[in-house]
């Protein structure tokens, strides 16, 4: 008899780490929905490199640092959070779980982190606001008709959202070949809840119906004048999501952006775009501490969060892992995912010799 228990696959065992949620979700989701979440654009080079970039760094850890009970508390956009991790905007989450965005938001709220609702959500702005009381941010895709965008902003303000994240890396939807192969389109019973009903179910024909559908609701001509329009339209802090260049970062902040998200949309837009972590130091240096810089793309470990913070990020957003956790266990799944990440961050801070987030600096990292 072998002394150890037989090896169990991560698909059935309780998740021990964020990446365990993926096979578990794959087992419960229809293939085309799994592919929509998991996939990236074209060769998926950026999707892969977002992860690989984290593996290019190693820690030069401190010892005898008495970092027994690290403080993960962080502040961003004037709000306090229990850790520097928030949930990224992602479209139509009712295709992962019947409660969709409302369940993910409840989990974020319970965990003391922010939830960012996508413009293309399957739970409306108002219904989300009624689901929990924690920090909620609204992600804006500029609509081709400004009146539609203006209405979104007004509704978000009325519903108590505290920041607007303007996504700027999607003038058009990237070429996601998994979706093309699957002829993926909005699943039955799931609709864009923020759109007027006449626009909601507009089905598109052609080789890539989902992308055409998204393109109908996003502005292909997105430009700096749109950012200026948005800044003039709202007193909520506007955060620009999808920046990888120093010059763009500087210009957005000069225009009045109150924060940036270094992001390539999780490798779903321009393929061979620079990995988020590789873009981070240039953006941080360009804005010189004037506004918070968040990062998303490939964050899967507590050590990933610490690496991003060492390189100057004020926090990170998580995308796919919480969608998988939502598919597997609804709000409980997402709560569990956030707690796993919290435990990893706390343990790694102790081992790194950092008692608080402000002690994280580039000096603790080396690039290999
Ligand atoms: C996204 N993302 C996204 N971003 C955005 O600004 N608005 C949106 O509606 C969506 N929708 C969306 C759907 C799905 C299924 C995914 C996976 C992603 C991008 C998202 O906010 C974030 O930038 C990435 O997901 C971060 O990368 P990781 O954590 O998924 O690697």
pLDDT digits (tens, 9 = 90+) for 222-246: 999 999 999 999 999 999 999 999 9
Among 159, 138, 162, 139, which Cα is nearest to 77's?
Answer: 162
pLDDT at 207: 74
Q: How many angstroms does the Cα of residue 62 sit away from the middle of ligand 1?
A: 35
For 84, phi then psi, to 5°, come to -90, 45
pLDDT at 65: 96
pLDDT at 208: 80
316-360 per-position pLDDT tens digit: 999 999 999 999 999 999 999 999 999 999 999 999 999 999 999
**Beta carbon of 318 within 6 Å of any ligand 1 atom:** yes
pLDDT exceeds 90 at position 2: no
Give 88 or 8, the one with higher predicted confidence. Answer: 88
Helix and strand totals (H; E) in the chain: 14, 12
Residues forming a β-bridge with 174:
none
pLDDT exceeds 50 at position 49: yes
Give 34 or 207, the one with higher predicted confidence. Answer: 34
Give 213 or 198, the one with higher predicted confidence. Answer: 213
**Beta carbon of 277 within 6 Å of any ligand 1 atom:** no
pLDDT at 292: 98
264-282 per-position pLDDT tens digit: 999 999 999 999 999 999 9
**Beta carbon of 275 within 6 Å of any ligand 1 atom:** no
Query: With contact defined as beta carbons under 8 Å apart, do 34 and 26 qualify?
Result: yes
CB atoms within 10 A of CB 342: 19
pLDDT at 184: 95
pLDDT exceeds 60 at position 165: yes
Q: Cα separation of 111 and 134, whole Å?
A: 9
Whether the model clears a pTM of 0.85, i.e. scores above it, the answer is yes
265 is known as an active-site residue: yes
117-148 per-position pLDDT tens digit: 999 999 999 999 999 999 999 999 999 999 99
pLDDT at 1: 40
Query: With contact defined as beta carbons under 8 Å apart, do 77 and 162 qualify?
Result: yes
pLDDT exceeds 50 at position 4: no
Q: How many angstroms does the Cα of residue 263 sit away from the middle of ligand 1?
A: 9
Q: What H or E segment, with its residue span, contains residue 278?
A: helix 276-287
For 2, phi then psi, to 5°, come to -70, 145
**Beta carbon of 168 within 6 Å of any ligand 1 atom:** no
Q: How many angstroms does the Cα of residue 156 sit away from the middle of ligand 1?
A: 20
pLDDT at 13: 78
DSSP code for 121? -
Among 265, 262, 355, 366, which Cα is nearest to 316's?
Answer: 262
The answer as to CATH 2.60.120.560 being correct for domain 18-367 is no
Q: Cα separation of 73 and 82, whole Å?
A: 5
Of 86, 143, 217, 265, which residue is the catalytic one? Answer: 265
Residues 173-183 have a mean pLDDT of 97
**Beta carbon of 39 within 6 Å of any ligand 1 atom:** no
Residues forming a β-bridge with 87:
115, 318
pLDDT exceeds 80 at position 201: no
pLDDT exceeds 90 at position 209: no
């Amino acid at each position: 008899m072998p002394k150890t228990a037989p090896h169990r696959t991560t698909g059935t065992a309780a998740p021990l780490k964020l990446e365990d949620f993926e096979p578990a979700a794959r087992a419960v989701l229809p293939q085309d929905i799994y592919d929509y979440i998991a996939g990236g654009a074209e060769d998926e080079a950026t999707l892969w490199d977002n992860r690989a970039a984290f593996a290019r760094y190693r820690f030069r850890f401190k010892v005898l640092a008495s970092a027994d009970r690290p403080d993960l508390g962080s502040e961003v956009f004037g709000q306090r959070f229990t850790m520097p991790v928030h949930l990224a905007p992602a479209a139509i989450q009712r295709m992962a779980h019947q409660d969709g965005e409302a369940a993910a938001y409840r989990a974020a709220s319970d965990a003391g982190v922010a939830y960012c609702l996508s413009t293309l959500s399957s739970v409306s702005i108002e219904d989300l606001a009624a689901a929990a009381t924690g920090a909620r941010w609204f992600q804006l895709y500029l609509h081709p008709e400004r009146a539609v965008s203006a209405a979104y902003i007004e509704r978000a303000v009325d519903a108590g959202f505290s920041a607007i994240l303007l996504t700027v890396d999607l003038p058009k939807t990237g070429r996601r070949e998994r979706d093309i192969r699957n002829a993926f389109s909005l699943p039955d019973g799931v609709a864009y809840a923020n759109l007027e009903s006449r626009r909601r179910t507009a089905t598109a024909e052609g080789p890539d119906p989902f992308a055409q559908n998204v393109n109908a609701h996003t502005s292909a001509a997105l430009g700096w004048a749109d950012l200026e329009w948005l800044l003039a339209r709202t007193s909520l802090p506007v955060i620009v999501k999808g920046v990888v260049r120093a010059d763009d970062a500087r210009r957005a902040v000069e225009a009045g952006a109150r924060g940036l998200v270094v992001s390539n949309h999780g490798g779903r837009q321009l393929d061979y775009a620079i990995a988020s972590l590789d873009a981070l130091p240039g953006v941080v240096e360009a804005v010189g501490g004037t506004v918070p810089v968040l990062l998303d793309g490939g964050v899967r470990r507590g050590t990933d969060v610490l690496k991003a913070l060492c390189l100057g990020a004020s926090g990170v957003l998580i995308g796919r892992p919480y969608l998988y956790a939502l598919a597997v266990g609804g709000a409980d799944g997402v709560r569990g995912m956030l707690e796993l990440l919290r435990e990893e961050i706390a343990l790694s801070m102790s081992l790194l010799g950092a008692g608080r987030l402000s002690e994280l600096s580039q000096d603790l990292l080396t690039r290999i």
